[in-house]
Amino acid sequence: MNNNWWIHVLVAAIASVLIVGFIKVAGAQGADILISIVLIIIGILFHFIPSIIAVHRNHKNKVGILLLNFFLGWTLFGWVGSLIWAVLQDADREKEKNGIRNVHESDEKECPYCAEKIKNKAKVCRFCNNSLS
Ligand SMILES: [Zn+2]
C-alpha cells in the first residue's frame, strides 16, 4: 500500500552516513556537540508538546496556549497548565461538534438485567455485576 517506505530508509541511511562522517571528521568533541544539539532539539520539542497538541488539533485557544507554553513552559506549572489546557478544551470542542445530539442524549442507559441506570460506557453493571459486552 505504502510505496514510499524506501524513501524513509534512504533518508535514514543518508542521515546515518552524515552523522558518522561528521563524528569522524570533527572527532570526539564534534560528537559531544552533536549529542548536545540532539538533546537541545529533543528538549525544545518536549517543551512545546502542549503547543504542538493545540495546533495539531486546531484548538480554539491555541494562541493563548502558545503564549503560556512559550513564556511559562519552562516552569513545571506553566508546562503542565498549558498541556492540560490544550487537552481539556479539546474535549469541549468534541462535545460542541456533536452538538444538539449530545445535549439531549444522556450518557446513561438502562441495564438489561436489573433495569438500573448505568453509564453508556460501562462494561459491567455496577448494581448487578452482570457483564454487558
Ligand atoms: Zn444491572
Q: Where a domain ends, among 10, 29, 47?
A: 47
CA 49 to chain CA mean position, Å: 7
Are the CB atoms for 82 and 50 separated by under 8 Å? yes
The pLDDT value given to residue 1: 42
Task: Please report, for residues 37, 41, 97, the alpha-carbon distance to residue 8 in angstroms, rounded to integers and kept in the order given.
Answer: 22, 20, 36
Q: What are the residues whose beta carbon lies below 5 Å from ligand 1 (ion)?
A: 111, 113-114, 125, 127-128
Residue 124 Cα to ligand 1 midpoint, Å, equals 8
Segments forming the whole domain that contains residue 81: 48-98
Q: Which stretches in the chain have pLDDT values below 70?
A: 1-4, 28, 89-105
Residues 1 and 24 in one domain: yes
Residues 55 and 14 in one domain: no
Q: What is the pTM of this model?
A: 0.45
The pLDDT value given to residue 15: 82
The pLDDT value given to residue 57: 85
